[in-house]
Chain A
Amino acid sequence: MKPSTNYRWRKLVDQVMRSATVVATGCAVIPLVAIIAYVIAIGGTAMSASFFTDVYQPPDLPTQSEDVANEEVPFNPDDPFANLEVPAPENADGGLAGESDEMQAVADAYAAGPRGGVLHGILGTLMITGIGLLMALPIGIFAGIYLSEYRNERLATVVRFSSDVLSGSPSIIAGVVIYVVVVLQTQQFSAIAGSMALAILMVPIVTRTTEEMLKLVPEAMREAARGLGAPTWYSTFTVVLPTALPGIVTGVMLAFARGAGETAPLILTVLGSNVITMSMFEPMAALPLLTYRYTESPYIGENTLAWGAAFVLVMLVLIVNILVRLATRRVGVTR
């Protein structure tokens, strides 16, 4: 029997549309893979010992030649522009001495390879994000416990919604709020302000993963603890939390990776720095800030450092996500 035209048409539509979804997936995967590949390929070239051990080094610009810099023409009210006419020493061949050399040196400085490293950024990111995480942990974990153990209360819906609002609002909002409350009040950009802004962003992640992980703990375990006479708090801390601990740790790691990559709130709170600062009450460097500033820099060497810093951030995200993947797979098995 010959298939009808209608059937062939339907078959065709089916195949075209199914291929279209494959094409869509391809279209999306290509740029996404390209980003990771570029960061690894170009950022990888920035890796060197000094990248991890050195701090910011200013570009190797030539200092102004001495005879020009030292010559001070006293200000003359009759001839206010006298000091603009600096007599240029002449070269042997009559050209302006030093000028072409100097311009060549400037051009060399712009095109030079990376100088210095990002140790200050790495330390800054670890400190700012670490302290932010310490602030976010108690709120996040206890809110997660509340959401999972008292899940049907009306307050739980409000808390869940608030956590969604926090995770859905643009990260710059956290920066704006901390800028108003902390930076403007203390008249000082500080690392601790950055930690607070990051804490606002990390709370919902910790809350959500803690809740999800605690919900995975079988109800039977809670009932068993209860059957042995344990009160809720005791069973939560000795039975439920330890069971869900790997999952919660992965959630905390995810929050750390997310916080470490946030840039916008840090621009408004931490400001950045070119040296290693150990005081939380001063401006500090951070990897995403360095990435941003070095990207906008006209010096090729600093652009390379931007790729390097991006490489470190991507590696952090990659490693954390793979670890999380492994950990949650194990939870999935025990479930």
Chain B
Amino acid sequence: MANQQTSASWSSGKSLLRHGDVPFRIGTVVLASAVVLLVIAIAVIMVNASQEARQAFGLDVLFGTEWNPIETEVAPPAFGAYPAVRGTVLSALIAILIAAPLAIGIGIYLAELCPPSISTPLSFLVELLAAIPSVIYGVWGVFVFVPFFNTVFAEPVSQSFGLVIPWLAGPIATGRGIIVTGVILAIMILPTIASLTRDVLRLVPNTQREAMLAIGATRWEMISQAVVPYASAGIIGAIMLGIGRALGETMAATMLIGNSQRISESLFLPSTTAASLVANELTNSVSSLHESALITVALALFGITLLLNLSARLLIWYVERGNRGAK
């Protein structure tokens, strides 16, 4: 290496200075590898700890409908986390259906339409909100949003549409349930999706915009036909990251979904999510099988968020690279 030769001539007497590069490189490589090892260790530990339940039940741990940790005379212990899987998927689905259009709108506004004097503070606000701890959203949800949501949305809807559509049926008892959790999750993932959307939109080269405007397009035609399609892979990536965050969110879900193992058809009624199931039961687990089943649920969550993250990163990276090619 060229710099090693120069360093040799510079300090021929100071061997530490000259040979410092070797320990430096070893040190950085070892500590950087620790990050990789951490991920591998997490996976290995969870696979090992979940072995008992996986061998006993196989995929039924995730798709069985009976969750009964305590053995009684009438019911043997059973571990089927379908209620939690269902609650997780439905609440994340509601969250993304609300958050994605809004967040894309915000991303477009921040990147394309709004004057810089608004853009900077607004971007700061959005980033700040992504940094607020999830337990805060939980507190606000429990004390402020749930009562508000019940009087404004849940009660009227369950008494009108709910009479016809069983998904929206009442009665609203505590007010905690899948829909209200989904709405809070939507608020939580909005900043994530919006700021990533803004970032990928800013990567779109100006030639795209200029070409479109030059042939007489309106601003919106330019955005919808030349800017967004160019960045679409990145926007999909941002949405996937949002889904990942909604699926794995623990505290807000635990505090708002009601933590009930019953499968109720109505989305206004309490349910549970995978993460809140683990948070509620792991420290109180009654048997090693129970513990192992909960860790299997956590492992599934880890696997799914890992896949989502991997594909999202690939999509965003694809847009970034495409931009470099176009310049």
Which A positions have Cβ atoms within 8 angstroms of B? 10-11, 13-14, 17-18, 20-25, 27-29, 31-36, 38-39, 42, 138-139, 142-143, 145-147, 149-150, 155-156, 158-159, 161-166, 168-177, 179-181, 189, 200, 203-204, 207, 226, 228-234, 236, 254, 257-258, 260-264, 267-268, 271, 288, 291-292, 295-296, 303, 306-307, 310, 313-314, 317-318, 321, 325
> Top 3 nearest A-B pairs by Cβ distance?
A170-B248, A261-B133, A24-B105
Q: Which residue of A lies closest to B187 (CB)?
A: A31
State whether A317 touches B282 (Cβ < 8 A).
no
Could you jot down 15 A-B contacts, CB within 8 Å?
Answer: A14-B219, A21-B108, A24-B103, A25-B114, A28-B103, A39-B136, A139-B31, A139-B35, A142-B31, A145-B28, A159-B35, A162-B38, A230-B10, A234-B7, A236-B24
Contacts of A159 in B (CB 8 A): 32-33, 35-36
| Interface hits, B242-265 → A, CB 8 Å | 244-245, 247-251, 254-255
Given known contacts A18-B220, A155-B33, is B28 in contact with A25 (CB within 8 Å)?
A: no
Partner of A170, one of B33, B194, B220, B275: B275
Partner of A207, one of B21, B35, B136, B219: B35
State whether B251 touches A264 (Cβ < 8 A).
yes
Question: Which of B69-77, B119-127, B153-161 contacts the other chain?
Answer: B119-127
State whether A229 touches B33 (Cβ < 8 A).
no
List 15 additional contacts besides A17-B224, A159-B32, A172-B301; criterion CB under 8 Å: A17-B220, A35-B129, A146-B31, A150-B29, A155-B33, A168-B241, A168-B309, A170-B248, A231-B21, A264-B279, A292-B255, A296-B255, A307-B143, A310-B136, A314-B136
Give CA–CA (A22, B223) in the complex, Å.
15
Contacts of A231 in B (CB 8 A): 3-4, 7, 17-18, 20-21
| Interface hits, B11-44 → A, CB 8 Å | 11, 17-18, 20-21, 23-25, 27-29, 31-36, 38-39, 41-42
State whether B32 touches A142 (Cβ < 8 A).
yes
Q: Which residue of B lies closest to A144 (CB)?
A: B32
| Interface hits, B289-314 → A, CB 8 Å | 294-295, 298, 301-302, 305-306, 308-310, 313
Give CA–CA (A182, B7) in the complex, Å.
46
Contacts of A181 in B (CB 8 A): 45
Give CA–CA (A35, B252) in the complex, Å.
13
Interface of chain B: mostly helix, strand, loop or mixed: helix
State whether B139 touches A306 (Cβ < 8 A).
yes
Q: Which residue of A lies closest to B144 (CB)?
A: A38
Give CA–CA (A71, B18) in the complex, Å.
86
Q: B211 interface residue, CB < 8 Å from A?
A: no
Partner of B38, one of A14, A33, A42, A166: A166
Q: B178 interface residue, CB < 8 Å from A?
A: no
State whether B283 touches A179 (Cβ < 8 A).
yes
Q: B101 interface residue, CB < 8 Å from A?
A: yes
Contacts of A200 in B (CB 8 A): 38, 42
Distance in Å: Cβ of A190 to nearest Cβ of chain B:
13
Given known contacts A25-B109, A168-B309, is B9 in contact with A229 (CB within 8 Å)?
A: yes
Give CA–CA (A271, B283) in the complex, Å.
9
Q: 1/0 per residue B156-193: CB within 8 Å of A?
A: 00000000000000000000000000000001001100
Partner of B250, one of A32, A146, A172, A307: A172
Q: B234 interface residue, CB < 8 Å from A?
A: no
Given known contacts A24-B105, A181-B45, A263-B251, is B131 in contact with A257 (CB within 8 Å)?
A: yes
Partner of A292, one of B138, B144, B247: B138
Give CA–CA (A230, B5) in the complex, Å.
10
Q: B59 interface residue, CB < 8 Å from A?
A: no
State whether A168 touches B244 (Cβ < 8 A).
yes
Contacts of A271 in B (CB 8 A): 283
Q: 1/0 per residue B275-290: CB within 8 Å of A?
A: 1001100110000000
Give CA–CA (A158, B31) in the complex, Å.
13
Partner of B20, one of A14, A233, A264: A233
Contacts of B46 in A (CB 8 A): 173, 176-177, 180
Q: B49 interface residue, CB < 8 Å from A?
A: yes
Q: 1/0 per residue B135-151: CB within 8 Å of A?
A: 11111101111000000
Q: 1/0 per residue B216-253: CB within 8 Å of A?
A: 00111101100000000000000001001101111100
Q: B269 interface residue, CB < 8 Å from A?
A: no
Give CA–CA (A300, B41) in the complex, Å.
43
Q: Which residue of B lies closest to A267 (CB)?
A: B279
Distance in Å: Cβ of A261 to nearest Cβ of chain B:
3
State whether B136 touches A321 (Cβ < 8 A).
no
Give CA–CA (A111, B100) in the complex, Å.
41
State whether B275 touches A288 (Cβ < 8 A).
no
State whether B105 touches A162 (Cβ < 8 A).
no
Q: Which residue of A lies closest to B218 (CB)?
A: A14
Contacts of B132 in A (CB 8 A): 35-36, 261, 314, 317
State whether A261 touches B136 (Cβ < 8 A).
yes
Q: Which residue of B lies closest to A27 (CB)?
A: B102
Partner of B105, one of A20, A147, A263: A20
Give CA–CA (A264, B276) in the complex, Å.
9
Give CA–CA (A10, B122) in the complex, Å.
29
Contacts of B126 in A (CB 8 A): 32
Contacts of A234 in B (CB 8 A): 7, 17, 20
Q: B113 interface residue, CB < 8 Å from A?
A: yes
State whether A18 touches B135 (Cβ < 8 A).
no
Give CA–CA (A169, B313) in the complex, Å.
13
Partner of A29, one of B4, B125, B251: B125
Given known contacts A17-B220, A233-B21, is B142 in contact with A164 (CB within 8 Å)?
A: no
State whether B133 touches A263 (Cβ < 8 A).
yes
Contacts of A233 in B (CB 8 A): 20-21, 23-25
State whether B241 touches A155 (Cβ < 8 A).
no
